[in-house]
Structure 1
Amino acid sequence: MSAPRLRRVAVLVLDGAKPLDVGIPAQVFSTRGSMPYEVRVCGAAPGLVAGGDGLSYHVAHGLEALEWAESVFVPGYRHPDRDDPPPAVVDALCAAHARGARLAAISTGAFALAATGLLDGRRATTHWHYTRALAAKYPKVRVDENVLFVDEGRMLTSAGAASGIDLCLHVLRGDLGVAASNHTARRLVAAPYRSGGQAQYVPRSLPEPVGERFAATREWALHRLDGPLTVRTLARHAAVSPRTFSRRFVEDTGYTPMQWVLRARVDLARELLERSGHSVERIAAETGLGTGANLRAHFQQILGTTPSEYRRTFAKGE
């Protein structure tokens, strides 16, 4: 019997490439009996590629590997918001896609895919630290900051580095089935599926304010989250009318006052879940969210997970 045809995977290493991002697809799709893949690690040209975090890479292949590949993975790289990929890389990615190749980005590799225009009108994600930068630089891309990865058919993107594992396992499930994906997850000592999205890994749900007009009122509110807070109450503290307060608050934070209060309460609930053994009902009462059902609903809406899953992931050795 002839050996099964190997599926062809290229890992495109750009200047400033992050080591974990490079290693994930190279290891997941390694050629072995249970994994019918051939992997070629390539760059804009063969030779040495300067990486991020003190590492460099010697790649054996140039962009001709993208002509050969059926799947192309683009690992994340440093300074994606200001360093564009070389035109030859953009052209090679477009040509690979036109031939029918699957393009997948890990973390900030999404910027390289966005530079091709192929993400225009599509959903995509990237590391939470860069979601706003991606949306600002490529406004035609529909950036989803809450998910671990996005599958748009032959265009896939993932969040921060470790979510590259989630993306690669998802690709394996589609290529070879659940059993192969689970086998690989065990080999990597990784979860076959992870609960929730990347929103739960962002340190704070509250956005950084653009302006500081109501900084004192926001600080005042943070110490009173367990009590009733309304637009009228907040406006009274700020000594302006509710209408003026609401309009200027959105200008400062990007959220309405009550959206901001809700996110502040969720952040406080996250802290209590991490640092205390309090019940969900007690935490809901102490954060002004009312009931455990309300807390669960808002956690799902804002963080994409449940309080119990969040506690299981982040609790400090209770």
Structure 2
Amino acid sequence: MHSVAILVLDHVVPFDMAAPQQTFAWTHLPDGRPAYRVRLCAETPEVRADGGFTLRVDRGLEALAEADTIVVPGCSPEAAPPSARVLAALRQAAEAGTRIASVCVGAFVLAEAGLLDGLRATTHWVAAGDLARRFPRVEVEPDVLYVDNGQILTSAGAAAALDLCLHMIRRDLGSAVAANIARMSVMPLEREGGQAQFIVHEHPPVPRGSALEPVLEWIEDNLAHEVTLGALAARAGMSERTFSRRFREQTGTTPLQWLLRARVRRAQYLLENTDHSVERIARQAGFGSPTAFRERFRKVVGTTPYTYRTAFHGKTAAPAARSRTAGAAPGPGPGS
């Protein structure tokens, strides 16, 4: 039986720990036998969890050496850096060929151990920039749900732990078994769009009183109209060349990229809060055509406008869609 050890560190995020624990524990082979043996392990017998409670863990770090797969959940910001013992145990497991996966900001622990050097990795999009700054040898991909390097895997935040676990189960046991546990988890086997669709695309702050501040406000007010570099430079009282240089110095990007990102952000708002057609939203956000809008939206957000609206539209669900069918008995599942 495949052994999974979930490494519980101080201030562990409960969901990050419970999602893989439940998903692997509920996975069965076609003949009904459990596919995985799941164990929690920690450096100390008692571990504080984020949320104000304490966990009692029976297994120590020796369980890492016995495992076929190690999962490292994320911890809250109050957590201290992982100890030298924990990092050494992870390195030894990696050297022995053990598969090691992280959930959310658990990627920082793998990076601290040097296990992500030279590899692609992801984490929660809010923490992706920090991971890239602190560990420049890691190729951070902030817009995906998980990254599989073979032996070392990383996932984005919260629910992406389920995506990663289903991916590993499919690798181990095939699509039929993985599809069954996906149904038990009440989620698709694969989600479209990656993490990019959840990222809040904010512009970098511009210093108060900057000559660019009124120009940027004007851009936001005129997204539906044609906006040219010449018009922006004229509003700033600069030549196009000087304006472009100052713009990059103060924002870190070009006027065109800023404009396109602002238009995508406006389109996201309209998809979330209106029932306007894609064609109308393309006009309102300033894209030349619905085709250009769809292409730019997919490039930035990672999914189509239609799929994004389906996921994030603010309508209240109908009562029938929220409740269980009358008379149906609830069945057990990973979230039970």
- TM-score, normalized by the shorter chain, greater than 0.5: yes
The alpha-carbon distance between structure 1 residues 210 and 86, as it changes in their structure 2 partners (threshold 3 A), is farther
2:35 corresponding residue in structure 1:
36
Which of the numbers 202, 205, 208 marks the counterpart of 2:201? 205
Residues 34, 180 of structure 1: 8 Å contact kept: no
Which of the numbers 6, 15, 21 marks the counterpart of 1:20? 15
Give the deviation of 1:207 after TM superposition.
3.1
Q: Give a deviation string over 1:106-157, Cα, whole Å, max 9, x none.
A: 1000000111112111110100110000000001101011101111111111
> What letter corresponds to residue 48 of structure 1 in structure 2?
E
2:2 corresponding residue in structure 1:
7
2:290 corresponding residue in structure 1:
292
1:86 corresponding residue in structure 2:
83
**Cα distance between partner residues in 1 of 2:221 and 2:307:** 27
2:171 corresponding residue in structure 1:
174
SS of corresponding position for 2:115: coil
The alpha-carbon distance between structure 1 residues 118 and 229, as it changes in their structure 2 partners (threshold 3 A), is same
1:251 corresponding residue in structure 2:
249
Which of the numbers 311, 314, 335 marks the counterpart of 1:313? 311
**Cα distance between partner residues in 1 of 2:46 and 2:247:** 50
**Cα distance between partner residues in 2 of 1:77 and 1:120:** 21
Give the deviation of 1:209 after TM superposition.
2.2
Residues 206, 260 of structure 1: 8 Å contact kept: no
Give the deviation of 1:79 after TM superposition.
2.0
Give the deviation of 1:54 after TM superposition.
2.5
Give the deviation of 1:231 after TM superposition.
2.3
**Cα distance between partner residues in 1 of 2:290 and 2:110:** 41
Give the deviation of 1:85 after TM superposition.
1.2
**Which has the higher mean CA deviation after the structures are superposed, 231-240 or 107-116?**
231-240
**Which has the higher mean CA deviation after the structures are superposed, 246-255 or 101-110?**
246-255
**Cα distance between partner residues in 2 of 1:183 and 1:120:** 35
SS of corresponding position for 1:108: helix
**Cα distance between partner residues in 2 of 1:161 and 1:195:** 16
2:125 corresponding residue in structure 1:
128
1:147 equivalenced with 2:139 (yes/no): no
Q: Give a deviation string over 1:154-210, Cα, whole Å, max 9, x none.
A: 1111111110100000001100111111110111112211110111112x3233326
Give the deviation of 1:247 after TM superposition.
2.2
What TM-score comes out, normalization by structure 1 length? 0.93
Give the deviation of 1:89 after TM superposition.
0.9
Residues 105, 156 of structure 1: 8 Å contact kept: yes
The alpha-carbon distance between structure 1 residues 246 and 57, as it changes in their structure 2 partners (threshold 3 A), is farther
**Cα distance between partner residues in 2 of 1:282 and 1:244:** 35
Give the deviation of 1:34 after TM superposition.
5.0
Q: Give a deviation string over 1:72-108, Cα, whole Å, max 9, x none.
A: 001111128x842111111111100100101100100
Which of the numbers 175, 188, 191 marks the counterpart of 1:191? 188
> What letter corresponds to residue 3 of structure 2 in structure 1?
R
The alpha-carbon distance between structure 1 residues 211 and 118, as it changes in their structure 2 partners (threshold 3 A), is farther
What TM-score comes out, normalization by structure 2 length? 0.88
SS of corresponding position for 1:277: coil
**Cα distance between partner residues in 1 of 2:86 and 2:149:** 21
SS of corresponding position for 2:25: coil
Q: Unaligned 5+ residue runs, structure 2?
A: 317-336
Give the deviation of 1:304 after TM superposition.
0.7
1:273 corresponding residue in structure 2:
271
1:100 corresponding residue in structure 2:
97
Residues 294, 304 of structure 2: 8 Å contact kept: yes
Identity of aligned residues (%): 45
Q: Unaligned 5+ residue runs, structure 1?
A: 1-5
**Cα distance between partner residues in 2 of 1:34 and 1:281:** 52
2:61 corresponding residue in structure 1:
63
Residues 206, 213 of structure 2: 8 Å contact kept: no
